[in-house]
Structures are given as C-alpha cells and as structure tokens.
Structure 1
Amino acid sequence: MSDITEGTTGFPQVIILTIALFLSYLTVAMALPAIPVHVVEGIGLDNTWGGLAVGIAFLSTILTRGRAGAWTDRAGGRLTMQCGLLAYAAAGGICALTAWPVLTVAESYALLLVGRLVLGLGESLVLVGMMGWAIGLTGHVRSGRVISLVGMGMYGAFAAGGPLGLTLLNRTGFVGLMAVCSVLPLVGLVIIQFVPAIEPNAGPRESFWRIIGRIWRPGAAVGLQGVGFAALGAFFPLYFLSNGWPYAGLGLTFFGTGFVAMRLLCGHLPDRMGGARVAAISLVVEACGQYLIWLAPGPYAALAGALLTGIGCSMVFPSMGSVVVKQVPAQLRGTAIGGFAAFQDLSYGATAPVVGVLADHSGYSFVFLIGGVAATLGLWAAMAAGGDGG
C-alpha cells in the first residue's frame, strides 16, 4: 500500500489495527499463567525463577519503549508494528524450543529468557507503532478515541487470554501453546496489509530525555493512576481472604466491568472535553474507589470500590495520552507515546513489590490507602498537565 497524508482516512482502518493488536496481545496474556507452570513443571526450577521469566518481558518492554517510539517517528508506524508482530511470532518459536529434551536445565531456562526478552521488544514495537499509525490515520484531534480503542484491544486480550492460555496448555502442552502464540501475530500481520501507511513526518528531532521533560506531568498522572490497578490486581483477593469475606475472586471482574463500560461509553470525551479535565475527574473517582476499599466494612462495599476503581482508571491513559499527542510536534509523536507508556509500565512493575512490603507490616487494607493517595497525587499531575496546554 502506498503512503497517505496524515488524517485523510478514518476509523474502519483503526478497527483493523485494533484487531491485530488484540491478536498480538493474546500471545502475551496466554503466556502469563503458562510460563511459571512450564518453569516449575517442565524445566524443573522453583517459583522464583518462574517469576523472573514472567517479569523480564515487562522489563524488556520498559527499556525499549523509547527506541520503539524513535523508530516510529523515523520509519513510520506501519513498519514498526510489522516488525513487532514478527518479534511476537519469533518469541513464541524461541520459547517452544525450551521444551526440547536434549537441552540442559540451564540451557532451557536461558533460551526461555531470550524468548521473553524478544516478546517484550515485540510488545513495545506493536503498541507504539500501532498508536502512532492509528493517530496518523485519523488526525491528532481524535487521539483520545484512538487510544481508548488501543486499551480495549489490550485489556480485552488480557481478559480472554488467561483462561485460554491455561486451556491450551492443558490440552496441547507448552509447545502447542507457543505454536498458537506464534501464529496469532502472523494473522495480525496479514490483516494489517490492507491498511495504508502514513508517511513519517519530517522535522527536527529531540533526544528521548528532552521529550520526557515535555511530557512528564501527564506521564506522572498515568503512572500514579496505575498504582491503584496494580494494587487491586495483586492484593484484592488476599485482602478478602484475610478478612474471611466471600467473593475474593470477583475484584477484577468488577474492576473490568467498570473499565470496559467507560471505554465503550466515554471514549470520545477526551477529544470533546479536553484530556486533562477528563483525567482529573477520573482520578477523583479512582481515589474514591481505593479509599472505599481501604475503609470497607464488608465485601459488598469493597466490590463497589473495585467497580469505582475500574471506572476511574479507564479514561486516564487515553485522556493523558491525548494531552501528550497535542504537546509535541508530529515528528516526535512516536517517541513521546513510547515515553508516556513507559510511565504506566514502570508503575505496574514497581507497585506490587513495594506495596507488598508495606502490606506485610501494616495489613492489606493499607495497600488501598496507598492507591488512594497515589490517585489523589495524580489529580494534581493531571491538572498541571492541563495548565501546560492540555
């Protein structure tokens, strides 16, 4: 397909990109529960090594966001996303080789880490490339709606991928699961061939850290928002069990219901009302949800807090993302998106171990007080970002 000018087409093409994103993120989600099982039962190591194999992919993603953004700015989102989908497919093949019986334990595990690192690189390239490409197709004035679609593709994949991954692991084994994880991105690669490319924007470049200096306020807002989600995902069931409450497994269900409903109903609001205003309102709702869980007298109040947390978290990333897109010139957009996404990656990666230490000393309810305080601080960051012109 030949290149076209930015903003000359619309959302049917973005839907195609979102489907490809969904297929690629299924490989991430399906592998999450399967990797620790394979490390323990297949390779023969303990849970610590299983956790490292899971986490190293996220580390790879964080470290490559900036490079993926710079590549998007120079080569275009289409090529970046294509390379990311190929990296996903390669990662599945590398991980499948770890079940080869002639390998030693050390060789199998080392190969698994290589596959997970390649997966993290693929995630960076696909997400940043797709957002840069999609915003180029629709124009930056509709960036909030585009980023909302991106989130729906990602979180939809996570919702479907976990159970599907375990089912495939049980029925086809680890090699069969990894084969599916290699094929799905290739399907995505085929369907995006029908979407036209966007010519990269010419203009002066800036260093990654200089761009971070431009966008750190919206980045801080989305990072502080992520504390509540990460805390809920990691500690909500333990909080219920420690109190002897029923329905410990429903926290993420209530969170996800609120999250998806807001994306479906309100994905257009950042473009219509302004990203900073929508993010500020969302962070107030998230903070109320976290404080409600912290003070909950019983399970129903805590589940209501999880629902409010999902409603609040839902629109912060697309709202602040629309601010970021409007704060930088078009030729720096990919790098800015990559740096912005890294704030949320870092928040998700750091929250669980940090608040876990606090939970050991102060109890599980204290975790959600931290989440509420973080969302309150995020409100200040969102308002400050709006004052910078968002």
Structure 2
Amino acid sequence: MSNKSQKTVSPAIPSPPAASVFLKVLPITLAVFIGFLTIGLPLPVLPLHVSGVLGMGPLMVGAVIGTQFVAALLSRAWAGALADTRGAKRAVVTGFLVASCSGGAYLVSLSFLSSPAPSVWCLLVGRVLLGCGESLIVTGALSWAIGLVGPQNAGKAMAWIGMAIYGAYAVGAPVGIAVQREIGFAGLSVAAILLPLIALALVARVRAIAPAAAQRMPFYTVLGVVWQAGTGLALCCVGFGVITTFIALLFAARGWDTASLTFTAFGLAFIAARVFFAHLPDALGGARVALVCVLIEALGQLLIWGAETAVMAHIGAALTGFGYSLAFPGFGVEAVRRAPPQSRGTAMGAYVAFSDVSLGITGPLMGAVASAWSLDAVYLAGAGAVALSALVAVRLLTSPRPA
C-alpha cells in the first residue's frame, strides 16, 4: 500500500444529539451545581451580616462581595494554564479543595464579632480562597465539558455549566436565609466546607480529557483574541452584579421581606432560558443571540430601578436573569471560535476573566453610587452598562470570524 493511500483525511465529526451532549456533561454539571452552592448560600446573607452584624457601610459590603471576583480574576491565567497543561479535571478537583477552605475562614471570622475589623479581614481571606476555587472550577469545567462534546457544541456545554452555576444561586439564596435563621452564620460556614467535598466525589470517576498540546498561546495573546467577546460579557455582567450585591439592601430599605425570591426569580428565568433556548448560540450565532438578550436584560434593570412593589422588582430580576442567561454563551461562542483549540482552557479563563473584572469593579463602584445617590440608582446605572454590551454584539456581528 502506498504512502499516499495510507494518508486519509478524517471525516468531519457530526454533532451529537442534544441528549448525548447533556448526558456527557451531566456529572460535571451536577458537581458544579453543588459546589456553587458554596457561593449561592451566603449571597443574600453576607451583605446583611457585614452591614447589620459588623456595622459596615455599603462600600465595605461591596468590597467583601467583590473580593471574590477580584481573586478569581487574578487566578484565571493560572487556572487556564493548569487546565491546558495538567488537564481540566485536575483544575476542577483543585478548585473544589480550595473552595472548601473558604468555609474555614468564615468560621474563624465568627471569633472576632466583637472586633469588626479582624472579622472582616477573615471574611476577605475566605472570599479570596473562594474566588481562586471558583476560577479553577469554572475554567476547568468549561474546558472539560467542551472537550467531551466537541467545540461544535460549545454553546450547549457552556449553557449547561452556566445553568448549574445560576441554579445554585437560585436555590442557594432562600436556603441560605433559612439556614441563617435556624443555625446562624456558623451553619453556612460548615456548609461551605462540606459542599465542595461532595461535589468532588461526584466527578472523581468521570473520564478526564488529555491536556492540550504542550505549545500554548500565552495568556495575554489569548486575551487579545477574545477581548471583544469578553468586553460584551463584562458589560452584561453588571446587571447580575448589582442584584447579587445590593438587592437584599434595597428590599430591606423599602421594607420588603422577599429579597430571597429575587434570587429565585433570577435563577429560574436563567434556567428556563437555558432549557428552551440553549441551542440558539450554536445554531444562529453567538453575537446575534447576545444582541437580543442584553436588551432584555437592560429592560429588567430598568424595572427594578422604577419598581414600586416587590413583585415588580421580582419581574425585573427575572428579565435580567433571562437576558443574561444566553448572553454568556452567546458571547462565549464568539470567544471559542476565535481561539485555537490547543489553548481552549486559557481562552475560557481569559473570557471568564472579563466577568471577574466586571463583578470585582461593580461591587465597590456601585457601592459608591449608592452612597452618593440611592440604592435604586445602581439599577439605572446597571441598565446603562448592560445596554452598552449591545454595541459590542453589533461589532462582533460585523467583524470577521475564523471559519
């Protein structure tokens, strides 16, 4: 047989059916859901704990919440490199272990309730650990899932992983408040220790994917490839950031006692969008889907800003969640298609890093807005930021894309 006859061209790999994609990523999705309860449970509790128990102002509340995202940002390059060179599964396992340590820092903070400053420092340490763990989990899980189902199903993979993340926010918020009422912040701290370990057990036997090729694009080079999609993500993340950081304070200021339902409304709408429309970024194009969805998200922010009842704020949160749900994989598909396959983990780390920048800045910046004007003003500012991401989507629609 001649050398020429031995050289065959690999046929195009057909896209597996949606059910097959779901089954392949299901264990990772469940693990991410359980692991992210470590973030979801304290979401409505931490702002009130820092404000009410420790007596800190909105600026410090924003700093405590935002520290997690800053830490995640600073660890994205490391997380992406670990996923590409040592394997995505290794990154996820390491992330769960680091996230578990954050609960220990929360427990230690309770020893200093009579001295608020040391207690806040312990909380900040916990948020740093949680941010690093979150960076490893998200970067590794996205790279792992895409590696299992193929880049042609990147949008679906990102949709399911994202559903797990925000489903944890939706479930975690009311559960966190219930745990706080029954057994206090100490109970939340213990849960933050145990939940990542349970998640770790779920993925222990899942097949790992081989690390990418030894030669990778440097992080800053990949950053240059995905910066447009990342900018769109950063702007639309503001809507999510102002809900997680300030909605509990807004409801308390207005005498409404259903703040936890806002997180539930956000999360359920987020999940519904993923269940029924997760295929759209792959089928119609990420930028086109993102353009429509960020406009829906901006409308949700405006409803919260002008809400005169708690129900109207819940509707605004639901629209925010629905729009943000598909904006993330919409911009993400554009990032994946512009990045080389051997640097997919680094590309995912670079892309998600833009959300870290956004959420890290949103907390303290919007805290300053709330201090200078009012709590509801942060949602008007949020609507403006989200609307700007529509311009990015238009730019992606008109710019050239690799075949």
Q: Cα gap change, 1:163/1:372 in structure 2, threshold over 3 Å: closer, same or farther?
A: closer
Structure 2: distance between partners of 1:362 and 1:108: 28
* Amino acid corresponding to residue 340 of structure 2 in structure 1: P
Structure 2: distance between partners of 1:10 and 1:316: 20
Structure 2: distance between partners of 1:294 and 1:367: 8
- Which deviates the most, 21-30 or 250-259? 250-259
2:335 aligned with 1:324: yes
Identity %: 37
Cα displacement (A) at 1:172: 4.3
Q: Cα gap change, 1:180/1:195 in structure 2, threshold over 3 Å: closer, same or farther?
A: same
Contact preservation (8 Å) 2:304, 2:316: yes
Deviation readout 1:113-154 (Å, 9 max, x if unpaired): 433322221111111111110100000111111111111111
| Alignment of structure 1 residues 1-390 onto 2, 5 Å | 10-33=21-44, 45-47=54-56, 52-99=63-110, 111-202=122-213, 204-234=215-245, 249=259, 251-291=262-302, 304-358=315-369, 366-386=377-397, 387-389=399-401
Structure 2: distance between partners of 1:348 and 1:217: 17
Contact preservation (8 Å) 1:148, 1:267: yes
Contact preservation (8 Å) 2:77, 2:219: yes
Cα displacement (A) at 1:305: 4.3
Contact preservation (8 Å) 2:110, 2:186: yes
Cα displacement (A) at 1:224: 1.0
* Amino acid corresponding to residue 401 of structure 2 in structure 1: G
Contact preservation (8 Å) 2:68, 2:360: no
- Which deviates the most, 45-54 or 273-282? 45-54
Structure 1: distance between partners of 2:69 and 2:235: 18
- Which deviates the most, 170-179 or 81-90? 170-179
Q: Cα gap change, 1:115/1:234 in structure 2, threshold over 3 Å: closer, same or farther?
A: closer
Cα displacement (A) at 1:77: 0.6
Q: Cα gap change, 1:87/1:304 in structure 2, threshold over 3 Å: closer, same or farther?
A: closer
Cα displacement (A) at 1:360: 5.3
Structure 1: distance between partners of 2:251 and 2:108: 40
Cα displacement (A) at 1:166: 3.8
* Amino acid corresponding to residue 156 of structure 1 in structure 2: G
* Amino acid corresponding to residue 193 of structure 2 in structure 1: S
Question: TM-score, with normalisation over the residues of structure 2?
Answer: 0.80
SS of equivalent to 1:195: coil
Q: Cα gap change, 1:354/1:135 in structure 2, threshold over 3 Å: closer, same or farther?
A: same
Alignment RMSD, CA only? 3.6
Question: TM-score, with normalisation over the residues of structure 1?
Answer: 0.83
Deviation readout 1:206-257 (Å, 9 max, x if unpaired): 2222211111111111111122333345556777888x79797465454444
SS of equivalent to 2:159: helix
Structure 1 match to 2:8? none
Structure 1 match to 2:7? none
* Amino acid corresponding to residue 235 of structure 2 in structure 1: L
* Amino acid corresponding to residue 102 of structure 2 in structure 1: A
Cα displacement (A) at 1:260: 2.2
* Amino acid corresponding to residue 56 of structure 2 in structure 1: N
Structure 2: distance between partners of 1:163 and 1:302: 16
* Amino acid corresponding to residue 158 of structure 2 in structure 1: I
* Amino acid corresponding to residue 223 of structure 2 in structure 1: I
Q: Cα gap change, 1:80/1:237 in structure 2, threshold over 3 Å: closer, same or farther?
A: closer
Task: State how many pairs are aligned.
Answer: 381
Q: Cα gap change, 1:89/1:248 in structure 2, threshold over 3 Å: closer, same or farther?
A: closer
Q: Cα gap change, 1:50/1:241 in structure 2, threshold over 3 Å: closer, same or farther?
A: closer
SS of equivalent to 1:47: coil
Structure 2: distance between partners of 1:12 and 1:23: 17
Deviation readout 1:184-208 (Å, 9 max, x if unpaired): 2222112212210100121532222
Structure 2: distance between partners of 1:247 and 1:172: 19
* Amino acid corresponding to residue 65 of structure 1 in structure 2: R
Contact preservation (8 Å) 1:218, 1:381: yes
Deviation readout 1:69-107 (Å, 9 max, x if unpaired): 111111111011011111122332344345569x99877
Structure 1: distance between partners of 2:118 and 2:380: 44
